[in-house]
Structure 1
Amino acid sequence: MSRSPVRVFRPWLGAFALVLLPLAGNQAGAAPRTVYAGTLQGAGEVVMELEAAQDGTLTGRYFYPKQGVDIPLKGTPAALYEPKPYYERKEAGLDPDEDAPAGRAAAWQGARDADGYRGQWVDARTGKRRSFQLRRVAEYDPDALAPDSVRAVTDAISGGMGSGIAFDVSIDAERAPYETRKLAGYAVPAGPDIGTPTLAYRMWRDPRTKFSYPRLSRHPDAKVLERVNGLLEQRHWQMSLAALACKASAYTDDNPAAGTLGSYDEEEIKVDWLSSALMTVSESGSLYCGGAHPNNHFEPYTFDLLRGEYLDWNHVFDAYESDGNGFRTESATLLEVVNAARNALASTDATGAADGESLEGCVDLWPSFLALGAEAPGMLSLSVSGVGHAMGVCLGTHAVVPFKDLAPYLKPGGEAYLVVD
């Protein structure tokens, strides 16, 4: 998946499986996981994932689609056990990190074969039994989904939860069959079309995670609309998985946010700019589901609506160049644009944030924490993004450059991106 070259990777995705659940990957030589789907009598549809260890034990998880929250499983082929919530085990005087019989909520007793898994679910509190019939629907390699270890360590410090899936991996039925069954088909339109008769977007909302994310509803090029909506959906899905992972942590953690949506339901997601050539979507808020501190963030994403991909700003002007080590760094042209904006701010009163904290010095974080975007009525936005917790007050847009002022820097064809429809 093509990514914006100005992206500062968010620090809150990916820790879930690496820190809390054995199922979400990055384990050396992890066995393939088998996915089952079917019905539990009286409870409806369930989706389950199981992984077998060399000693014959099984670990896994399952969810009810109406909730989308993973419930851990551990045991043997004859009986898999699901735990009571972490706080219940702790309040009962049990070691919540151990699998004690008194800490079990239910048992799945059955048999597996090449076709599926069937048997009885037994409520540990009441002894009530329900039959289940699950069919085998997929098998996949968890290592192919895992985020890198650097991001996982960062996640454990800030935010604490994540999707467990790397950003460059598409969440689809082949690569991530368990997660795709959790997400596909649940988001629905949550507002009117915003735009013109030929160009518009609409917010979509998954009622389980309670936040909305945009999709294009009209664009002159149907293929571009389809490709960009695929990217927007992937962003929505990554965030939804992280929110649902926080709810699932009620079984594995007792931090104050465990069992909540991790404040994703308070996330502010805006379309800052939409033209037939560009779309900028910004994500901002304060996410928390464990870790040393909340993930205060502001992150703009710009999509190329001429090509149907994340925007490479070098299509507009010479913004980035190779540093000789395989990475991109800011070009002299971009630094000239940034310095001009910084000097303009210096000549005005750029201090005094809304909460009373000074913003003086925030622009000195450029270019290390610079993110580009576009916003109305047709301007390049220069923002601080990806900065550490201590400098969180600086997050956001601090300067704008009218499209017309970029004319001296444009590459051939670059003007096509700066249209104002």
Structure 2
Amino acid sequence: MLKGLLRLAPYAAALFSLLSTAQADDGRRVFTGTLGKTPIVVELNTQQQDEVTGRYFYEKYHRDLPLSGALQDSTLTLVEGNNRYGDDKPLPTLKLEETANGWQGEWQNPQGKKLAVQLSEAKLAAPTSTTLPFIATLPASEPYEYLRLQGLKLKATKKENFMGYTLQWWTEPESKIALFTVESGLPKDDLQRVNQQLLGRLWNEVISYHGCQLQGGENVEFMQQAQPQLISPAVVSLNISTSYYCGGAHPDFGDSPLNIDVNTGHSLSLEDVLWVGEGTPLLHAERDSLGDQPLNEKESAARSTYQREVLVPWLVKQLTALYPEEMKKPAEGDEDSCDYTDESIWSYPSWHFTPKGLYLGAYFARVARACDAPDWSVLPYSLIKQHSGAVKLQLPQN
């Protein structure tokens, strides 16, 4: 089974036929070529000619180098890197002339070394029916990331038995992003659907890692840990905790769970599982074979209103009844305690399944982030079953 999954990975370029050109919907164009004799991939947005932005990576190393500059007539002048922390050090430059199919010119470092640059509009490998669904979306939305991922491979690490299911862990060595696939314990078709979602999430986290590297520069930190929380015939649930510094004033951290409907392979929203409003539950969104679609403006507004006016007051009431001591409002002037009665901290809770019930995590402002994600805030399945969401799931007994 896993050999078949590996064939779905983005580095299996032989499985693909060629597309025409690489251009994202927002005007970013992608080029491939050489800097000196070294292969590179370049992304440029020249729509605002006096503020051209871009990035590139050497195919051997995959790490982004930022580009900025201006386009005057057919001459593109770019600076590689930036002095974001107040440094005034000289930086490499690129001076390029537009050609019929790209750019050509030279790169020069501060010491005066010059190397020729040749760039052509990138030709992308088109996804086929066996391509991992997440990867199949990238040529249209993120062609630059699509080309980067084709040069990366996953490394199999440990195997683990979790709740009677065999998990195979995978690591992308450069980013050290790790996640698992389910090797046994589910029917074959269910395994394929679930593992496509899990591998898609792994590659998406690799993209996030590189985005953080580009934004944060030399002082970046990006550490991540994934933990399975519940696996059953109905759901696969895991939590992904990330600690990161991508530039800015402070480091940060947060949880980003993934909850998969085994029957369809789609991720679940909280409204799919728990609904305490009137009428028909809000479905997360229309689904299709390429994955979950984003909420449109009307759906997003309805969801926000429901969460603020219905879900959060209900949630605070239920948690207060279940955990009166933990939810007790701190005494006035007690700044060291966590106020879990504050409705704002439950507005967009991170959530996942557990053997005992549905876990929902609070989210505090930065000054009280130590109060985030209390370990006790679990709603028992006996309560969840009284308020089923849009997707009918076979939940554990408790």
Alpha-carbon distance in 2 for matches of 1:413, 1:51: 42
Task: State whether residues 193 and 262 of structure 2, in contact with CA within 8 Å, keep that contact through their aligned partners in structure 1.
Answer: no
SS across alignment from 1:398: coil
| Structure 2 CA distance for partners of 1:222 and 1:80, relative to 1, 3 Å | farther
Matched, 1:107 2:131: no
Residue 165 of structure 1 is matched in structure 2 by: none
1:418 is aligned to: 396
Specify the code of the residue in structure 2 equivalent to 1:416. Answer: Q
Measure how far apart 1:124 and its partner are: 4.2
Post-superposition offset of 1:309: 1.0
Which structure has more RCO (C-alpha within 8 Å, separation ≥ 6)?
Answer: 1
**Residues 194 and 126 from structure 1, CA distance in 2 versus in 1: closer, same or farther, beyond 3 angstroms?**
same
* Cα distance between partner residues in 1 of 2:251 and 2:32: 36
* TM-score between the two structures when normalised by the length of structure 2: 0.66
- State the 1:172 CA deviation: 0.6
**Which residue of structure 2 lines up, in the alignment, with residue 137 of structure 1?**
122
**Corresponding residue number in structure 2 for 1:326:** 302
Alignment of 1:401-416 (within 5 A): 401-403=379-381, 406=384, 414=392, 416=394
Show the counterpart of 2:113: 127
- Go from structure 1 to structure 2 and tell me whether the alpha carbon gap of 1:90 and 1:390 turns closer, same or farther (over 3 Å shift): closer
1:345 is aligned to 2:345: no
1:60/1:349 CA distance change after superposition, 3 Å: closer
Say yes or no: does 1:298 pair with 2:293. Answer: no
* Distance apart, 1:197 and its partner CA: 11
| Partner residue, 1:99 | none
Q: CA RMSD in A?
A: 4.5
Judging changes above 3 Å, is the alpha-carbon distance between structure 1 residues 238 and 391 closer, same or farther for their aligned structure 2 residues?
A: farther
What is the correspondence of 1:8-87 to structure 2 with a 5 Å cutoff? 32-42=27-37, 44-53=38-47, 59-65=53-59, 66-76=61-71, 77-78=74-75, 80-83=77-80, 85-86=82-83
Q: 1:368 aligns with which of 339, 347, 355?
A: 347
Cα gap change, 1:212/1:391 in structure 2, threshold over 3 Å: closer, same or farther? same
Q: Which residue in 1 is equivalent to 2:178?
A: 212
Ranges in structure 2 where 5+ consecutive residues have no aligned partner: 1-23, 125-133, 283-297
Mark the runs of 5 or more structure 1 residues left unpaired by the alignment: 1-24, 93-102, 140-167, 250-256
Letter in 2 for 1:81: L
State the secondary structure of the residue aligned to 1:244. helix
SS in 2 for 1:290: coil
CA distance in 1, matches of 2:167, 2:39: 33
Structure 1 residues 269-328: Cα deviation after superposition (integer angstroms, max 9, x where no partner): 322222232122223344333334443423433221122111245555534557996226
How far apart, CA to CA, are the structure 2 residues paired with 1:241 and 1:416? 34
Q: Distance in 1 between matches of 2:34 and 2:65?
A: 16
218, 226, 251: which one aligns with 1:259: 218
AA aligned to 2:29 is: T
Q: Pick from 270, 277, 280: which aligns with 2:227?
A: 270
Instruction: Report the identity percentage.
Output: 19
How far off is 1:203 after superposition? Answer: 3.5
CA distance in 1, matches of 2:350, 2:169: 24
SS at match of 1:342: helix
In structure 2, distance between residues paired with 1:281 and 1:190: 19
Alpha-carbon spacing, 1:223–1:334, altered in 2? closer, same or farther (3 Å): farther
The amino acid of 2:78's aligned partner reads: Y
Mapped partners of 1:299, 1:55: distance in 2: 38
**In the alignment, does 2:87 pair up with 1:90?**
yes
Deviation digits for residues 70-105 of structure 1, max 9, x if unmatched? 33143544454333552798244xxxxxxxxxx341
Alignment size in residue pairs: 338
CA distance 1:191–1:410, shift in 2 (3 Å): same
Question: Deviation string for 1:94-139 (max 9, x for gaps)?
Answer: xxxxxxxxx341435455223x44454444414343x444331269
Contact 2:156–2:170 (8 Å) recurs in 1: yes
Matching residue's letter, 2:263: L
Change beyond 3 A, Cα 1:296–1:59: closer
- The one-character-per-residue Cα deviations of 1:21-77 (angstroms, maximum 9, x if unpaired) are xxxx99xxx6x33211133334x3210123334769854321123132133143544
Shift of 1:178: 1.0
